[in-house]
Structure 1
Amino acid sequence: MRRLIRLSRPAIRTVTYTRWLHLFIGAVAAPIVGLVYPGLDGDGASIWLLPFVPLPLVAIAACVPGMRVAETMQAQLLLFPRPTAPARRQDLGIAGSPSASWGDRWRVFEWMTLRLWLGFGVTTVTINGAVLVLGLLTPSLWPPFGPAVRLPGEWNWWYPLLAPVTGAALIALTWASGALMAALAPRLLGPSPAERFAELEERTERLQERTRIARELHDTIGHALTIAVVQAGAARAAGTPEFTDRALAAIEDTGREALSELDRVLRLLREDGNPAEQRFTLARAGRLVESARGAGADVTTETEGDVEALPGPVSREGYRMLQECLTNVLRHAGPVPVTVRTAVRDGRLELEVRNKLPAEPGDFRDGGSGLRGLHERAVLLGGVAEYGPHGGEWRVRVTLPLR
């Protein structure tokens, strides 16, 4: 019973008939052109020459770059109708862009020729087959007539028994032809190797951009929350109104800056405005130092060279790296003495952050996602990042080339 249901499924599926319609539309060009030349005179030989007459026009149409878009739209609507179609055209393996090379145009020509020939054959067989089924069922319509059907003889009582077999054969032919076109669509309408490579590069760039945005959110929100937690804990421990007021002011300033940075990143995701205008650079690192000092850390800074003249990418990434270092210090070591040294010399930026090791330096030793992100930032700019215990302290040392 299950096998019978499985065999009859193509007859009740909409996609079987939409694919027949796709083939029928592709075959319409043959009789239309045949009406003009050489003309339809009813001769069987001239009828079977019709699929070859439109080939010059098909070749000209295939040279138009937009023809691949039109064929792709028809294939998506009729070969893969909803709900059988995937949500995106890329999941079908077919291209939605105009032909970019002569190789693409040649594949479009092959597709249109195959659709013309197969569509003409399937349409001819199914139309004549339907007439034959009616003739088998109805004595008054016997003998059946059609472009390719000429069956002489008298109607017999057992002819209706052949009608289901003929109908099933027509449905099987329609299903197999549609499945063949659906299988060949990715090969003939799909993107070329050059287009696939370009799409892969674009996808890689999007992933890198998302990674960069996620890293910026991690740095900004993580720093703000760390400052807020440390300040709140210190205010509760101090228990004085003056310190509590300073802690609340520091939390307010840090939260306001975090909200501003979050708004910038959201504008970047929406691709409106100018998200680069509010990016922080290493020249504004003083706010990070003051924020860490407000959380109780004793931060000492040493600067060598002109930080203002740093290239934009180096300065912005240096700011994020310093933010990550100070956040890790407050998160894992607490309010301890910290030394920040920044040097611009010999065509490179050197950033070093040293602090006293906590009593249990396990979190530092393994390195969290923040330190791994710091290393990734340095590598993307052609630099190096080193971190670990050094001389009784925890040291993060970053070197970035200016070019």
Structure 2
Amino acid sequence: MGAVAAVVVVGVVFPGLEDPGAGMWPLLFVPLPLLGLAALIPGIRVAETMQARLLLYPGPQAPHEYPAPEIAGSPSSSWGDRWRVFMWLTLRLWLGFGVTVVTLNGIVLTLGLLMPSLWPPFGPAPMLLPARWGWWYPLLAPVSGAALVAVVWGAGALMADLAPRLLGPSPAERLAELEERTERLLERTRLARELHDTIGHALTIAVVQAGAARAAGTPEFTDRALAAIEDTGREALSELDRVLRLLREDADPTAHRPTLAQAGRLVESARGAGADVTTRIGGDLDAVPGPVSREGYRMLQECLTNVLRHAGSVPVTVRIEVLDGRLEMEVHNKQPAGSGGSRGGGSGLRGLRERAVLLGGAATYGPYDGMWRVHVTLPLR
């Protein structure tokens, strides 16, 4: 293709093909300005990438695994991209022309070495060796064929090696792709946390309520437990529907997410499950910024869920205070006997600490004065 382009451009544009004394330079250099103009077109990069993928690398039908190189499939977006596309087009022109010349001359040379011995009327071929050494010609024919194959293979290998460098993504594109991938991973992590908090809390409440109702064995308590399970399940379904709506592109990630202003329903849920919860709330929770309030609600939900899951029906103290420029939240409860005094290995508490760090705050948890305490500090700005 490079040879065809060179011959067509030189034959049509300049200086023509009538002058044999012009040499090879017009074929190699006259097309370069046109290649420069082509490289300015952003879509040329896409076209060259498609050709490189189809012609230089094995496809799915290959009998062995071959790692596909990283070649950009997007149009040129910067002058650096256009410059690399121009270098790639120049490489195709020069290598294509050179391989074509070597191929045509190599075939003629190989046939010239073979024909005198295969067909004597053909006569001795004018070669580099004297005519009296013509008996060497058949022995040199395999060398000529092997050299031809080596040149063609080497040129293809060179283009396959340079394609990722000249057509591959630029540093800016790599950075943008990395940022996009990071955003996707963060979104998946956030959705996983939402599901963990919502479904985990609801199932914990339902399990504790069902166990308490069976242990109590009274119709009145069973009715209250079933009512609490029903309310918790309905709330969990609503939360699950909201989380699934986040997968839609037009959904608002913060729509209908509960805030600390609705912390009372978490407390009532825990009380309905048998925990003796005492609350101390100071300051205006409605004035807490949205991100801090929503994440604080999830942190409180995680704390109460862990209490019910690991400690059972024990006294729990919840303190939430809006102070000067910060929000402090503390949940502590009595450790049950035989608990070992540590619950720091769960993913929920690690997620709680990560939430706090992302908001510029801090979260600590562990044994404290014979109690298990979770302490969270979040800046309001």
Same fold by TM-score, threshold 0.5 exceeded?
yes
1:6 is aligned to: none
Distance of 2:313 and 2:354 partners within structure 1: 27
2:46 is equivalent to residue 69 of structure 1: yes
Identity over aligned residues, as a percent? 75
The change in CA–CA distance for 1:46 and 1:256 in structure 2 (over 3 A counts) is farther
Distance of 2:202 and 2:139 partners within structure 1: 82
Q: What is the letter of the counterpart of residue 223 of structure 1?
A: H
Q: Is the 8 A contact 2:15 2:26 kept in 1?
A: no
Compute the displacement of 1:109 (Å): 1.4
Q: Is the 8 A contact 2:320 2:328 kept in 1?
A: yes
1:214 is aligned to: 192
Q: Is the 8 A contact 2:341 2:372 kept in 1?
A: no
1:262 is aligned to: 240
2:311 is equivalent to residue 343 of structure 1: no
Q: Is the 8 A contact 2:261 2:285 kept in 1?
A: yes
Secondary structure, counterpart of 1:353 in structure 2:
strand
2:223 is equivalent to residue 245 of structure 1: yes
Please tell me the root mean square deviation across aligned C-alpha atoms, in Å: 3.3
With normalisation by structure 1, the TM-score equals: 0.82
1:5 is aligned to: none
Secondary structure, counterpart of 1:97 in structure 2:
coil
The change in CA–CA distance for 1:264 and 1:137 in structure 2 (over 3 A counts) is farther
1:28 is aligned to: 4
The change in CA–CA distance for 1:162 and 1:239 in structure 2 (over 3 A counts) is farther
Distance of 1:141 and 1:259 partners within structure 2: 93
Distance of 1:141 and 1:169 partners within structure 2: 27
1:114 is aligned to: 91
2:208 is equivalent to residue 230 of structure 1: yes
Q: What is the letter of the counterpart of residue 87 of structure 2?
A: E
Distance of 2:38 and 2:57 partners within structure 1: 24
How many matched pairs? 375
Q: Is the 8 A contact 1:135 1:142 kept in 2?
A: no
With normalisation by structure 2, the TM-score equals: 0.86
The change in CA–CA distance for 1:161 and 1:108 in structure 2 (over 3 A counts) is same
The Cα offsets for residues 173-228 of structure 1, whole Å up to 9 and x where unpaired, read as 22211111111112212222233233223322222222222222222222122112
Distance of 1:325 and 1:99 partners within structure 2: 51
Q: Is the 8 A contact 1:303 1:343 kept in 2?
A: yes
For structure 1, which segment, 250-259 or 180-189, has the greater mean C-alpha deviation from structure 2 after superposition?
Answer: 250-259
Distance of 2:64 and 2:236 partners within structure 1: 40
Return the match for 1:123 from 100, 121, 127.
100
Secondary structure, counterpart of 1:371 in structure 2:
helix
Q: Is the 8 A contact 1:143 1:151 kept in 2?
A: no
2:73 is equivalent to residue 80 of structure 1: no
Q: What is the letter of the counterpart of residue 52 of structure 2?
A: A
For structure 1, which segment, 101-110 or 166-175, has the greater mean C-alpha deviation from structure 2 after superposition?
Answer: 166-175
Return the match for 1:359 from 326, 333, 337.
337
The change in CA–CA distance for 1:300 and 1:169 in structure 2 (over 3 A counts) is same
2:351 is aligned to: 373
The change in CA–CA distance for 1:70 and 1:337 in structure 2 (over 3 A counts) is same
What are structure 1's unaligned runs of at least 5 residues? 1-24
Compute the displacement of 1:86 (Å): 12
Return the match for 2:183 from 182, 185, 205.
205
For structure 1, which segment, 254-263 or 381-390, has the greater mean C-alpha deviation from structure 2 after superposition?
Answer: 254-263
Q: Is the 8 A contact 1:144 1:151 kept in 2?
A: no
